[in-house]
Amino acid sequence: QKVAIAKMLSVDPKVIFLDEPTRGVDVGAKAEIHRILRKLARDGVGIVVISSELPELIGICDRVLIVREGRITGEVAGAEMTEENIMVLASLADEGRQRSAA
């Protein structure tokens, strides 16, 4: 994963997209990836992370968007960015999908 990130950075991107950037990596590599992402964000690079690991999202993101079937169904930021709030928004998105399917 770190090699893939290094390749992306070789073109000096303004925005990078990462899908499950730490899935399957050890704890040390995960911490290093998080450090790199935080530095990139401080340097002004926009970072979009897709992850199912809520603690990871809370630890590295300024805000979290909940997306269901290609639509943003919720957003949390700052002190509201907790696992509980994210799960509530995700479950509300699921309920809305189930209601519209019925």
Q: Contact, 17 vs 48, CB < 8 A? A: yes
**SS3 sequence, 13-48?**
CCEEEEECCCCCCCHHHHHHHHHHHHHHHHCCCEEE
Task: Calculate what percentage of the chain has a pLDDT beyond 70.
Answer: 90
* 81 in Cβ contact with 58 (< 8 Å): yes
Rg of the chain taking only CA atoms, in angstroms: 15
Q: Which of 1-5, 31-35, 68-72, 81-85 has the lowest mean pLDDT?
A: 1-5
Q: Which two tokens stand for residue 25?
A: 């990596």
The single residue listed with the structure tokens 């994963």 is 1
Mean pLDDT of the chain: 85
Residue with tokens 């994210």: 86
Q: Is 46 within 8 Å of 32 (Cβ atoms)?
A: no
Residues 7-30 have a mean pLDDT of 88
